[in-house]
A and B are shown apart, each in its own frame.
Chain A
Amino acid sequence: MATKTDVLVVGGGIVGQVAAIEIASSGASTIVVDAGRDSGSTANAGSLHVQMQSRFMRLYPDQVPALEASLPLYCAAVREWDHLDKKYGPFGMVRNGGLMLAETVDQMEFLKAKAEREHRANVDVEILDRDALDEIAPWLGPQIIGAELCRNEGKLDPLAANLRLREEASRLGVQFAQDQITSIDERNGMAVAVGSTDTWHADRIVLAAAWGTGSLLSDLGLAMPTKPEPLHMNITEPCAAHIGHLVQHADRSITLKQLSGGQVVIGGGWPADDRRMARVPGVRCTSLVGNVALAARLVPSIGKVRVLRTWAGINTTIDGASTVGPVPNAKRIIVAVPGDAGYTLGPLVAKMAASFVTGSDQPFDAGAFSPARFAF
């Protein structure tokens, strides 16, 4: 079988969906193919991250420079979400800011230094002592001595956002198909994607396949290290609105927030087992108890709430920065894989990729994010 379209988008996560909306709006016929597996966008926690995450800095110290250089991209990405929310929402989005908590003097010092670097990149950050914290977050555990507040940060309900965006794409005539793409190439002035059920011919291909991207690029002269990273999540039953901020820690892996529906979502990158095609999700006992116990210590008032569900999702890591732009040897193929906190970055990265297809103005200078850096 062979199917022709103006633009083929490989990967139907947040990036693929928003890219398809942008491209279809310009009048091009657009198909999204997705393997229907392990999308980070359907498993993620809905935190809108801007400040540098301490977990990432601790785990991937070599990637911190790339992350720091991306700070303006994060600020712009959150503005993009504001825009999307107004246009297609509501997504249960609020921007009350994010708190990164410190329990020791060392952690406070770390936050101060970090805040200074972020301030230089025009991120809206401030260091708060405990008294100042008590004004806005009296529910924090007594051992917390201070925090960095980043006002750019916020949260949304990713399931609601995915659903509304998918509706919008369908309304614009975007077609969705299920197929696993096994190779991508340029042939006779066309971009061609070979899948396990179909061969797709298009004028342009947007490659938004997250962890699946690297292997598709290896024949095109790029060694892009997209790695699947299985992560653990927890959600509670709903309770009255209480926690306004996104909560993180200066030295521990955690994100905690309350969704508009009242559920408390606890995550932050605890590991899960990569049993990708196994029948049961690979939730680890040590991640469940470690992650939730940490949450209970930081925010003791959630102690009586019950955890309803845990799950594991697949995140994608590269080198700390996003990757957007045409493949140097095959310019009809445009890569669109966000860096860390990819749901936050997703819509902006998608728009940047779409502008390579439609020729519209770049919403953000993509120069620093070109896939050319992976050429071998």
Chain B
Amino acid sequence: MTKNDFTFEGRKIAFRDGLTLAAALEDTGERRLRYTAKDGQRGIFCGMGVCQDCLVTVDGHPNQRACMIRAKAGMEVCRQTALPALETAAQPLETATPEVIRVDVAVVGGGAAGLSAAIAAREAGASVVLLDERKTTGGQYYKQTAGDIAALDTQQAEGADLVRSAAASGARILSGTEIWGAFDGPLLLAETEGSAVVVRPKALVVATGAYERPVMVPGWTLPGVMTTGAAQTLWRSYRTTPGKRVLICGSGPLNAQVAVELAKGGCEIAAILDTAPHPGQRLGEAAAMALADPKLSAKGAMLIAALRRRGIPVRHKTRLLRVDQDAERLRAVFEDARGRETAETVDAVCMNDGFQPQNEILRLLGAEMTYDTRYGHLRCTRDRAMATTVPRLFAAGDCAGLGGAPAARIEGTIAGRAAAAFSQNRQTVDATAAENLALARHRRFQDHLWRVYDPGPQDIDDIAPGTMICRCEEITLAEAEDALNAETGHLGTLKRASRIGMGRCQGRYCGPVAARLVARRTGRPIEDFSFFAPRIPIKPVAISVILAVEEVLGGDED
């Protein structure tokens, strides 16, 4: 392994090849990455480019996500201030002419679903481009290792196989390429390393996966509090851990899996807190799960055995109350079913309370969505060929509603094949009987799996009024309630009155909570319209990139 240096606030940081800035900094215990407008400090939270809390200034270039940028020797990295300075020199901006890609099928997302879609579309004879914002494809379940680190387990090895097959399929794979614009056509606008890419496919498969739902408590914005998946990425991709002693909370299967992974990586897991009751109280579900998928259930049983063997305590019906800064560490306070409070002092608090689909592109293009009350998120309406209600637009995997990696693979295959057929004016081919059978089985398994957990979001009544619900604009639940008192209406009025959802994550974390808040106040049920209207850009994008796009697309003034 080669050793390299970059500087952080003038201090030399040695890093291993392939690490992101965030991982390299975490490796040295440096977690305060930016200051907020209200003097808060932030570090890695989502670990996947969604929260925008890990912003640093790199070589004088502000607003860079430390979790998405690879460390390079000689970089000068600084903590980002709330109002980074602009260059004052009036040099004309230099832009590289963007590549315009015309292709049969474009796939957005290189996870289980997207890679499978690309392979299937190629097999069906279509030209394919796959775009993924991460530096290496694989997505979340098949997250790959950085640099020359060896695969960790069969999950990662299986993923490596899938990534290889996709590359061998002849699909063009553009990693490190983030889609920020989606218009009718479809027309996709993307950014890669500061340059623009324009994609005009005949058919589009969206496979953008999901992000994690947090547990909102006072202190959830402190550096060192991160999603369970962020900690998982630190370990699985970069072989670093978020400190020594870790507490994990929320509800869902990822928490147990990551607890064991981090324990293997040398962490001491103080406890896993789960709001759901002990699965022993839901034995019927466990049995049904085993029937639905004996192999995955066996994996689950092994996981429980591993927790026991490693002495990782799992506290059921227990919820996190708050996180306090305790010198350099964090003090997590939690409460069990009987109302007893306990505290643990740890280096990191990890949280995963279910998932939110990344459905921005689908919603922007007008695909119909329905609200799934059980999971507390939107599901995209699709036919058996994974076609949405919008012509040319297909959706596969968790972006269409939580389904898990095995289902995402099958959905991807079906969607890729159907999109290829569509792009070549052939009659779309539905799923095969075997695919339908397997898909039904995976969905049954997911359904039972989540019955031993709480798949829905936190009850708003359980959120303390002083809790920040909008991380970006630093708005508390009480402030949001005040804004609603001043003018009850819809989410738009709440947004304008409180600035909720106006920040850099574009409402991804506060949006679902705000939607529930408005629904509770107005007595109207939650539906597609209850959420913030999707807006372009899908992810914040540099003005210089937009300038480059204009050079090939042109503007239309009047």
Query: Across the two chains, which residue of chain B brings its CB closest to A241?
Result: B83
Say which residue of B89, B366, B487, B533 sits within 8 Å of A166 (CB atoms): B487
- Contact stretch, chosen from A115-123, A211-219, A290-298, A322-330: A290-298
CB interface residues, B 81-128, toward A, < 8 Å = 82-93
Judge whether B89 and A287 touch: CB under 8 Å.
no
* Residues A304 and B542 in contact, CB atoms below 8 Å apart: yes
Neighbour of B86 across the interface among A142, A176, A242, CB < 8 A: A242
**B164-192, CB < 8 A from A:** 181, 183, 187, 189
| Cα–Cα, bound, A300→B546 (Å) | 13
Do the beta carbons of A167 and B535 come within 8 Å of each other? no
**Which residues of A, 167-211, contact B by the 8 Å Cβ criterion?**
167, 170, 176, 178
Q: Which residues of A contact B62 (CB under 8 A)?
A: 239, 304
| A50 / chain B contacts, CB cutoff of 8 Å | none
Decide: B542 and A303 in contact? CB cutoff 8 A. Answer: yes
| Interface residue ranges of B42-67 to A (CB < 8 Å) | 61-63
A254's closest neighbor in chain B, by CB? B557
Chain A residues contacting B9 (CB-CB under 8 Å) are none
Chain B stretch 524-558: residues in CB contact (< 8 A) with chain A: 528-529, 533-537, 540-544, 546-547, 549-551, 553-558
Chain B residue numbers with a CB within 8 Å of A105 are none
Q: Are A279 and B553 touching (Cβ within 8 A)?
A: no
* Stretch of B150-158, B243-251, B496-504 at the chain-chain interface: B496-504
Known: A238-B83, A279-B533. A288 touches B546 (CB 8 A): yes
- Check if B486 is an interface residue, CB within 8 A of chain A: yes
- A1 close to chain B: CB less than 8 A: no
Chain B residues, CB < 8 A from A167: 486
Chain B residues positioned under 8 Å from A59 (CB to CB): 558
Which residues 276-330 of A sit at the B interface, judged by CB distance below 8 A? Answer: 278-281, 283-297, 299-311
Chain A: CB-nearest residue to B537:
A307
Known pairs A303-B543, A310-B537; A293 contacts B90 (CB<8 A): no
Whether a CB of chain B sits under 8 angstroms from the CB of A72 is no
Q: How far is the CB of B396 from chain A (nearest CB, A)?
A: 22
Contacts A142-B92, A242-B88, A304-B62: A287 and B556 contacting too (C-beta < 8 A)? Answer: yes
A138 at the interface (CB under 8 A from B): yes
CB neighbours of B486 from chain A (8 A):
163, 166-167, 170
By the criterion CB–CB under 8 Å, are A290 and B557 in contact? Answer: yes
What residues of B have a CB within 8 angstroms of the CB of A303 in the complex? Answer: 93, 542-544, 547
Distance between Cα atoms of A322 and B551 in the complex (Å): 39
- Would you call B366 and A307 a contact (CB within 8 A)? no
CB of B554 within 8 A of CB of A286, answer yes
CA distance A311 to B501 in the complex (A): 14
Q: What's the Cα separation between A118 and B226 when bound, in Å?
A: 58
Which of B489, B506, B535, B546 has a CB less than 8 Å from the CB of A292?
Answer: B546
Tell whether A236 is near chain B: CB-to-CB under 8 Å.
yes
B443 at the A interface (CB under 8 A): no
Which chain A residues lie closer than 8 Å to B363 at the CB level?
Answer: 279-280
Check if A81 is an interface residue, CB within 8 A of chain B. no
Q: How many residues of B contact A (CB 8 A)?
A: 59
Q: Is A159 at the interface (CB under 8 A from chain B)?
A: yes
Kindly list chain B residues whose C-beta atoms are within 8 Å of the C-beta of A70.
Answer: none
A221 at the interface (CB under 8 A from B): no
Given contacts A242-B86, A280-B364, A301-B86, contact A307 B92 (CB under 8 A): no
B343 contacts partner chain A, Cβ-Cβ < 8 Å: no
Tell whether, in the assembled complex, residue A289 and residue B61 are in contact, meaning their CB atoms are under 8 Å apart. Answer: no
Candidates A279, A281, A291, A292; contact of B529 at CB < 8 Å: A279
Known: A289-B553, A290-B557. A138 touches B88 (CB 8 A): yes
- Whether A140 pairs with B556 at a CB distance below 8 angstroms is no
Query: Quick check: B529 and A302 within 8 Å, CB to CB?
Result: no
Closest Cβ of chain A to B477, distance in Å, is 19
Give the chain B neighbours of A301 by CB distance below 8 A: 86-90
A261 vs B38: C-alpha distance when bound (angstroms): 12
Pair B546/A304 contact, Cβ less than 8 Å: no
* B535 close to A310 (CB less than 8 A): yes
Contact A236 B556 (CB under 8 A): no
Q: Is A361 an interface residue (CB 8 A)?
A: no
Say whether A227 faces chain B, with CB atoms less than 8 Å apart. Answer: no
Interface residue B302 (Cβ < 8 Å from any Cβ of A): no
The main secondary structure of chain A at its interface with chain B is: mixed
Cβ-defined contact, B544 with A139, below 8 A = no
Q: Which residues of A contact B502 (CB under 8 A)?
A: 308-309
Bound-state Cα–Cα, A51 to B490, Å: 37
Smallest CB gap from B552: residue in A: A289
Q: Chain B nearest CB: distance from A88 CB in Å?
A: 15
Evaluate contact between B535 and A306: CB separation under 8 angstroms: no
B37 within 8 A of A: yes
Which among B87, B492, B556 is the interface contact of A304 at CB below 8 angstroms? B87
- Residues of chain B contacted by A36 (CB below 8 angstroms): 489-490, 493
Docked pose: A280 CA to B91 CA in angstroms: 37
A271 pairs with B546, CB closer than 8 A:
no
A42 CA to B82 CA in the complex, in Å?
Answer: 26
Q: Are the CB atoms of B90 and A292 closer together than 8 Å?
A: no
Contact between chains at A240 and B546 (CB < 8 Å): no
Contact partner of A302 (CB less than 8 A), chosen from B86, B499, B557, is: B86
Q: Contact check: which of A139, A238, A262, A287 meets B555 at CB < 8 Å?
A: A287
**A239-B62, A285-B553 given as contacts; is B534 within 8 A of A280 (CB)?**
yes
Tell me the minimal C-beta distance from A322 to chain B in angstroms. 23
* Distance A316 CA – B229 CA, assembled complex (angstroms): 48
CA–CA, A162 to B483, complex, Å? Answer: 13
Q: Is the CB of B543 within 8 A of A289?
A: no
- Residues 139 to 163 of chain A near chain B (Cβ within 8 Å): 139-143, 159, 162-163
Report the bound CA distance from A310 to B546 in whole Å. Answer: 13
Cross-chain contact A163 with B547 (CB below 8 angstroms): no
Q: Are B547 and A297 neighbours in the complex by a CB distance under 8 Å?
A: yes
Chain A residues within an 8 Å CB radius of B506: 308-309
Nearest-neighbor residue (CB-CB) of A263 within chain B: B502
**Contacting residues, chain B, for A42 (C-beta < 8 A):** 492, 496
Q: Is the CB of A141 within 8 A of B90?
A: yes
Cα(A284)–Cα(B555), bound, Å: 10
Query: How far, in Å, is A210 (CB) from chain B's closest CB?
Result: 17
Question: When A271-B558, A287-B556, A310-B537 are in contact, do A292 and B543 touch as well, CB less than 8 Å?
Answer: yes
Closest beta carbon of chain B to A163's beta carbon, Å: 6
Taking a contact as CB atoms closer than 8 A, the residue among B364, B549, B555 that contacts A291 in the complex is: B555
Task: Take A138-B90, A280-B366, A300-B93 as given contacts and tell me if A305 and B529 are in contact as well, using a CB distance cutoff of 8 Å.
Answer: no
Docked complex Cα distance between A297 and B556 (Å): 16
Indicate whether A270 reaches chain B with its CB closer than 8 angstroms: yes
Q: Is there contact, CB below 8 Å, between B536 and A283? A: yes
Q: Across the two chains, which residue of chain A brings its CB closest to B87?
A: A301
A53 within 8 A of B: no
Asked whether any CB of chain B lies closer than 8 Å to the CB of A129, the reply is no
CB-CB < 8 A to A140: which residues of B?
90
A270 to B557, CA, bound (A): 6
The answer to whether A296 touches B88, judged by C-beta atoms less than 8 angstroms apart, is no
Shortest CB–CB separation between residue A112 and chain B, in angstroms? 24
Residue of A nearest to B555 (CB): A290
**Contact (Cβ within 8 A) A279 B528:** yes
Nearest Cβ distance between residue A276 and chain B, in whole angstroms?
A: 13
Residue pairs across A and B with Cβ atoms less than 8 A apart, 29 shown, are A36-B489, A138-B90, A140-B90, A141-B92, A142-B91, A142-B92, A242-B86, A242-B88, A252-B557, A261-B37, A271-B556, A280-B534, A285-B181, A286-B553, A289-B546, A289-B555, A290-B554, A294-B555, A296-B547, A299-B90, A302-B86, A303-B93, A305-B63, A306-B542, A307-B540, A307-B546, A308-B504, A309-B535, A310-B537
Closest 8 interchain pairs by CB?
Answer: A290-B555, A293-B550, A286-B556, A306-B540, A289-B550, A303-B544, A303-B93, A292-B546
Instruction: Name B residues whose Cβ lies closer than 8 Å to a Cβ of A.
Output: 37, 61-63, 82-93, 181, 183, 187, 189, 363-364, 366, 486-487, 489-490, 492-493, 496-497, 499, 502-504, 506, 528-529, 533-537, 540-544, 546-547, 549-551, 553-558
Besides A285-B553, A290-B557, A300-B91, 14 new A-B residue pairs in contact (Cβ under 8 A), listed by A number: A159-B499, A238-B83, A279-B366, A287-B555, A288-B536, A289-B546, A290-B554, A292-B543, A300-B92, A300-B93, A304-B543, A308-B504, A308-B537, A309-B502
